[in-house]
Amino acid sequence: RFSTPSVDTIPFQVQDIKLFDAIDWVGSGPPTAEPRCGFRGEKCISYTGEISAGIAGAALLLLGVVSLVLYRNWRYEQELDSLLWKVDFRDIQMHENEKENAGQKMTRTTHPLIRTSQVSLSSNPDTDFRYTTIFAPIGMYRGQLYAIKKVRKKSIDITREMKKELKLLRDMRHDNLNAFIGACTESPNICIITEYCTRGSLKDVLENEDVKLDNMFNASLVADILRGMIYLHDSPLRFHGTLRTSNCLIDSRWVVKLSDFGLYAFKQG
C-alpha cells in the first residue's frame, strides 16, 4: 500500500513514496536498477555469430564425412562389379606338360634336361626355365609364369561374398604370402591363378635328400611362416585353415610364401 503523492508532481516524477508495509519481494530481493546486460544488451558480448559459425562448420563437416563414406561405398561397389580378378582362360598359354596331361591329376614333373636332384641351394631356377623342376601346373599369362590350380567343379555361381573375398585376396600383398593373381570362372576351365614358386613347397625340400639345410636356414624358414601367419591373422581373412608343408611354397630366393588360403566356397565341390 502506498500513500497518495502530491498532485502537482504527477505525472512527471514521484518524489516521495511512503510504505506502510514491507514489500514481499520475489526471489532474493528487489530487482536491480537495470538489467545485467543493459536495456539493449550493450553491456554483454554477443556470441551469436560464433555459435552460428560453429553450427554451420559442424554441419559441413558432417556432410563431408557422410559424402566420403557414400563415395567410398560407391567406389567399393564399382570395384566389386569390375571383376578385376577375373581372367580369361584363353589368355593363358599352358605349359606343354599341362597340355599333355590335361584332365589328369598333376604331380611333380621335371623338365627332360635335368633331374630333381640337380636343383641346389645355389641354383636360380628363375634365370633359365629350361632347367627348372616343375612342381605345379603352370601357364604363361601376360608374359609371366604362374601356377594354375584347377577347381573340379562343373560350374560356379559367383556370389557377392565371393566377389568380396576375391577382391580382398587380389589386394593382399606380403613377402610371405603367395600372391593371388586371378581366377577363371568359365567351365570347364575353372581355376585359380597364383604366383609360381620355382623351388616347390617346403614338403618337396624336406623330402629332397640332396638339399641340406642348417639350423640357421631352418630358423629363417620358420620365421617366414610366422610372419605370413601374423599378417593373415591381422587381415580381414583372419585365418589360413589348411596350413601344412605342402602349402608353404619356396621361391628362388628361398623365401617361404604361404599358399592355398581363402576361397573355400569357390573351391568347394
pLDDT 10s digits, 175-222: 999 999 999 998 889 999 999 998 899 998 888 888 888 899 899 999
Closest to 191 (Cα-Cα) out of 246, 229, 136: 136
Under the banding of pLDDT at 50, 70 and 90, the label for residue 117 is very low
% helix, strand, coil for the chain, step of 5:
35, 15, 50
- Looking at the domain assignment, is residue 226 inside a domain? yes
Cell of 235: 587381415
Mean pLDDT of 101-119: 40
Q: Give the tens place of pLDDT for each residue, 7-54.
A: 555 554 555 667 777 777 787 778 777 888 877 777 787 777 888 899
Mean pLDDT of 58-64: 94
For 226, residues 6+ apart whose C-beta sits below 8 A from its C-beta are none
CATH of the domain at 196: 1.10.510.10
Q: How far apart are CA 202 and CA 39, in angstroms?
A: 89
Enclosing domain of residue 184: 82-267
- Looking at the domain assignment, is residue 62 inside a domain? no
- Looking at the domain assignment, is residue 206 inside a domain? yes
Mean pLDDT of 227-245: 94
Residue scoring higher pLDDT (226 or 15): 226
Residue 73: is its pLDDT beyond 70? yes
User: What phi-psi label fits residue 57: left (phi over 0), alpha (psi between -120 and 50 degrees) or beta?
Assistant: alpha
- Looking at the domain assignment, is residue 212 inside a domain? yes
- Looking at the domain assignment, is residue 69 inside a domain? no
- Looking at the domain assignment, is residue 72 inside a domain? no
- Looking at the domain assignment, is residue 6 inside a domain? no
Under the banding of pLDDT at 50, 70 and 90, the label for residue 268 is confident
Spatial contact of 217 and 262, defined as CB atoms under 8 Å apart: no
| The total number of structural domains that make up the chain | 1
Spatial contact of 197 and 251, defined as CB atoms under 8 Å apart: yes
- Looking at the domain assignment, is residue 26 inside a domain? no
Residue 104: φ, ψ to 5°:
-105, 155
* Range of weakest confidence among 16-25, 167-176, 237-246: 16-25
